[in-house]
Structure 1
């Protein structure tokens, strides 16, 4: 099992573990619930996805011992195709690209500008987060979402299992066409 320890600014020490074949990712810590995602099939493993698939039917996710529904989009040319929807405990979350290197975790099924929990970046098996901050402008404070331990576990788990970031559509098309025309 491959493992990495991360010191989160709000929740302390977080342990990320991944099976050598990439079929299971687990996140745990003293201040957060244990969360895991398992790939249930070995068919058609995708090398560009750390967990090996973006097929929700081949994935099983648990948080604090309870099963959650995880529905990743296919991950093709558009940024939107790299989002992951999660439902459980009567709530929903969206893990959606924010830049070429980061994903944001938001409450609900769409990003509205004031429902972001945190911004996650995964790089070489290390996951970092910037938790949402209150923004003040002209004496008014924008509403912010306070993270909870469950949100922390969910964000780290999704970043480790699916990676973070997505290129803009035009850049992805040019990169794909260049790779097809000039392999190697």
Structure 2
């Protein structure tokens, strides 16, 4: 199943390598962060010395969408815990607009939203304030750039890395999708 909004063209190009995809990321503020993503089984663990542990998993019996690293955008088919506390994760459906690829969650009274802001990047909002930009191709590798004017807390980093790794980042703009559709209907010379 191909998703035209993602920055790769087909599932053959999707960089989701399957079980055991993991890596250690060095964050300039929070040090080493481990990301263990198993796309086949739909599990993700994010942890580090200075951030709380987050576990996100696809529940048994749900469908596996190969265009989403964790395997689903159905919030009822996901379980997420931050520092042992269950939280609800609410991914939007993910269709034509960048905003439709947003993912929301609340932890400790703080509302987080990861929403695409470019072809490859998504911004993390904390209580509607932009605190950082994440980049991930869905293979467990994640990069964060924090807003210098914001005081970022350990749960912010834990949630941001988790959402970026689980759902990927970025999406094509509606304008790009229209151009792609027009190009597909243009006869080849």
TM-score normalised by the shorter chain: which range applies?
0.7 to 0.9
For the aligned residue pairs, the C-alpha RMSD in angstroms reads 2.0
Alignment correspondent of 1:162: 167
Counterpart check, 1:116 vs 2:130: yes
Alignment correspondent of 1:128: 143
Identify the match of residue 90 of structure 1 among 106, 109, 112. Answer: 109
Superposed, 1:60-75 pairs within 5 Å as 60-75=79-94
Shift of 1:2: 2.4
Shift of 1:173: 4.3
Describe the shift of the 1:181–1:65 C-alpha distance in structure 2 as closer, same or farther (beyond 3 A): farther
Counterpart check, 1:152 vs 2:167: no
Alignment correspondent of 2:51: 32
Shift of 1:175: 3.7
> What count of residue pairs does the alignment treat as equivalent?
167
Structure 2: unaligned runs, 5 residues or longer = 1-19
Shift of 1:66: 0.4
Shift of 1:16: 0.3
Structure 1: unaligned runs, 5 residues or longer = 135-144
Describe the shift of the 1:20–1:66 C-alpha distance in structure 2 as closer, same or farther (beyond 3 A): same
Conservation of the 8 A alpha-carbon contact between 1:121 and 1:164: yes
Q: Within 2, Cα distance between the matches of 1:46 and 1:181? A: 30
Q: Give the 4+ runs in structure 1 shifted more than 2 A.
A: 41-44, 172-182
Q: Within 2, Cα distance between the matches of 1:175 and 1:80? A: 19
Describe the shift of the 1:68–1:178 C-alpha distance in structure 2 as closer, same or farther (beyond 3 A): farther
Conservation of the 8 A alpha-carbon contact between 1:22 and 1:50: no
CA deviations over 1:115-144 (Å, ceiling 9, x no partner): 11110000343100100023xxxxxxxxxx
Describe the shift of the 1:58–1:171 C-alpha distance in structure 2 as closer, same or farther (beyond 3 A): same
TM-score, L = length of structure 2:
0.81
TM-score, L = length of structure 1:
0.83
CA deviations over 1:1-38 (Å, ceiling 9, x no partner): 32101110000000000125141011011111000111
- For residue 172 of structure 1, give the secondary structure of its aligned residue in structure 2: helix
